[in-house]
Structure 1
Amino acid sequence: MIPLFKVAMTPGAADAVTAVLRSGRLEHGPVAANFETALAERIGNPRVLTLNSGTSGLHLAIDLATRPARGSGVPADDVPGEILSTPLTFEGTNWPILASGRRIRWIDVDPRTLNVDLDDLESKISPACRAIMVVHWAGYPVDLNRLRAIVDRAEVRHGIRPVVIEDCAQAWAATYDGLPLGRHGNVSVFSFGALKPLTCGSGGLIVVPDDEMYDRARLRRWFGIDRQADRTTGDYDVADWGFRFYMNDVAAAIGLANLVAADGLIERSRANAAFFDRELAGVPGLRQTERSPDREPSHWIYPVLIDDRSSFVRKLTDSAIATGIVSRRNDAHSCVASVREHLPGLDWVADRLAYLPVGWWLSEADRDHVVSTIRAGW
């Protein structure tokens, strides 16, 4: 079976972990700090903080967007409570919104990109909106320049500027307008989970746009305690409470070892995607998603929109090609039944969407097998 996902682990990861275990410093040691330095250089933004998971990053991002800064004079209860988000994502994107006590308002999906429908998003921004969650689905970046213009207009119209949170869980090394994600003035959250091309086993990263937010994020990552202050007397103050989201040195060691190889793995995924773009074009009953010259996707998976999806999935499975739906549309879950609304774009996509393996592990023979199987019909 050609797998849909596979764990990428460099040979040096085991030695790196062993070195941490022998050091006696499993948490708050130098390795996580070194990993942050390397990630900051790779992205081109120094305001990065490693975390124990991408989901923790979204919790922290929402907290930064919706809980007033220390000393701001704004009561927490006065902060608007609505966050716009997409239901076409893994549940880990949206459940942190519920955990924060904020209300989700669903944005429709653009069938061309599988990202948020930006027209629908603009129509739903209100004075109650505090943040906008966008997902670079399958590693294909959202049109961030157009999104910025939408937020600019909303700020003029409503007198409040929603914070844009980019869920980059599937989009490590993706670029928009020539720059890596994490460089466009928003809060960006990456996942280094087991199935990502850059993996720590479990881990994440938050990237923020300014020093003030970085300082708040640094404190809130570790219970609000300033680890750079002298705490030997026990006479320290927590003025801005926080969470336990720190990345340990074992995870950081795995990430550092894998960072050197991640770009090469993604380039192989991109080559495979380019092959599918070319060889699957025009296949009856199959639609491909958008490719815009201002974006370079990571191609974590390869989405296709299929007429008669059940037959398609059965044909590929019988041909030893893994496929699947990856996640259920989030608005269909009973825990968010109270906020459902009509989303025609997602309704059209939901019964047609399937995914093909596109990762670094595909051989040329594997790619040819996928293409010939699909071209033969289902």
Structure 2
Amino acid sequence: MMIPLFKVAMNLPDALDGVAGALGSGQLEHGPRAEEFERSIGARLGNPFVTAVNSATSGLQLALSLVHRPGDSRPADRDAEVLCTPLTFEATNWPVLAEGLRLRWVDVDPATLNMDLDDLARKITPATRAIVLVHWAGYPVDLDRLRAVVDAGEAEHGVRCVVIEDCAQAWGATFRGRPLGTHGNISVYSFGAIKLLTCGSGGVVAFPDGEAHRRAKSRRYFGINRHSERRLGEYDVADWGYRFHLNELCAAVGLANLAAVDDLLERHRSNAAHLDKELADVPGLEQVARPDAADPSFWVYPVKVDDRPGFLRRLAEAGIGTSLIARRNDAHSCVADAGVPLPGLDSVHDRVVHIPVGWWLSDEDLAHISTTIRAGW
């Protein structure tokens, strides 16, 4: 039997009971369970400005809309430029295109697989309105260095870039002991099916201030304030929005799983510590660097290997699941006009592989993975 790279984490029977309660309530769209989930996530993060959405992709587009259309009386900024990383799943970058914004690639740091912050510093211009970065595999970006880069860009160009953190793979990750979503940026979490904390489908956007939070909560439901009393034909939409709200069934699943996720996260971290030690000196394999101040979630365990086809073949023969997870986004024809040289990504893209590290691994599974890799390929 293959050791899987991913597995759905479901807190049963609590999730079944929660869904049954939602079905029996007769209210399936956004309601009290979704609002309770929103409050619970905010309490867990230590940030009350949390907006629940139906997916992290929707959350990213919602966040970008606040940059694109900042306020009710201001027009969309058609010249706005968004700096993005190409080493991610397409869900990170396609919301930029959906908002009609100009996408510009930033190179990848071969050591961390996250955005190259030196290249980011070179690419901030007066047209830059937002930076969308990814905490790849749950390994946090150096947020101290990022803040310094953004501050320097503001000093040089007179424009403050909004930073949007894609935390889709990073539930539980911290930087300097604080959860992602509490460092002054907009942060978007995914609670998709194979995430450590799952709603089946869902996500949240954590904002740094109450005004952005207020506008986002309105925009996620067509620009309509769901909490104000309104009669048919007697309410006004001043700031149009989307259908991005979280439904009651997914919220019920999320609430059940939130109660169990800490134990799962701890297992991911202990498994990663085992792999850190066992794979530290394997010829032809390089581990991924992470900042000293970062405590990753280890959604998966990325490594960089020589002879990637041989590595993939050997692990498949040994019954160990692996994946490349995503194609480099700049290679897609829909963004061909944004192509630029990315030497950092070029140097590492064909070496990256992701191996299992999750809560479902037994001690025997971990030993099998490390022994197989240490034996060579």
**Band of TM-score, shorter chain:** over 0.9
**Identical-residue share of aligned pairs (%):** 61
Render the CA deviation track for 1:67-103: whole Å, top value 9, x for unaligned. 12113xx4324x5421000000000000111111111
Indicate conservation of the 8 Å contact 1:80/1:127, yes or no. no
TM-score, normalised relative to structure 1? 0.98
Name the structure 1 match of 2:135. Answer: 136
Equivalent of residue 59 in structure 1, options 58, 61, 76: 61
Indicate conservation of the 8 Å contact 2:59/2:204, yes or no. yes
Name the structure 2 match of 1:323. Answer: 322
Moved more, 120-129 or 59-68: 59-68
Instruction: Give the partner amino acid of 2:76.
Output: A
Render the CA deviation track for 1:299-333: whole Å, top value 9, x for unaligned. 00000000000000000000000111000000001
Instruction: Give the partner amino acid of 2:243.
Output: R
Instruction: Give the partner amino acid of 2:7.
Output: K
Local SS of the residue matching 1:190: strand
Instruction: List runs of 5+ in structure 2 lacking aligned partners.
Output: none
Indicate conservation of the 8 Å contact 1:141/1:175, yes or no. yes
Q: 1:301-316 residue pairs with structure 2 within 5 A?
A: 301-316=300-315
Render the CA deviation track for 1:333-376: whole Å, top value 9, x for unaligned. 11111111111110011110001100000000000000110011
Name the structure 1 match of 2:11. Answer: 10
Name the structure 1 match of 2:211. Answer: 212
CA distance in 2, matches of 1:283, 1:135: 28
Local SS of the residue matching 1:341: coil
Q: 1:225-240 residue pairs with structure 2 within 5 A?
A: 225-232=224-231, 234-240=233-239
CA distance in 2, matches of 1:67, 1:146: 28
Name the structure 1 match of 2:194. Answer: 195
Instruction: Give the partner amino acid of 1:294.
Output: A
Instruction: Give the partner amino acid of 2:98.
Output: A
CA distance in 1, matches of 2:309, 2:30: 49
Render the CA deviation track for 1:35-74: whole Å, top value 9, x for unaligned. 1111111000000011100100011011011212113xx4
Instruction: Give the partner amino acid of 1:7.
Output: V
Name the structure 1 match of 2:36. Answer: 34
Name the structure 1 match of 2:23. Answer: 21
Render the CA deviation track for 1:80-132: whole Å, top value 9, x for unaligned. 42100000000000011111111111011011111000000010000111100
Q: Which runs of 4+ in 1 moved over 4 A?
A: none
Q: 1:252-331 residue pairs with structure 2 within 5 A?
A: 252-331=251-330
CA distance in 1, matches of 2:10, 2:79: 43
Local SS of the residue matching 1:84: strand
TM-score, normalised relative to structure 2? 0.98
Indicate conservation of the 8 Å contact 1:85/1:106, yes or no. yes
Indicate conservation of the 8 Å contact 1:286/1:307, yes or no. yes
Local SS of the residue matching 1:76: coil
Shift of 1:178: 1.0
Shift of 1:233: 5.2
Render the CA deviation track for 1:2-38: whole Å, top value 9, x for unaligned. 0000000011101110010001111132101111111
CA RMSD of aligned residues (A): 0.9
Name the structure 2 match of 1:176. Answer: 175
Local SS of the residue matching 2:131: strand
Instruction: Give the partner amino acid of 1:103.
Output: R
Local SS of the residue matching 2:192: coil
How many equivalent residue pairs? 375
Shift of 1:232: 2.5
Indicate conservation of the 8 Å contact 1:321/1:370, yes or no. yes
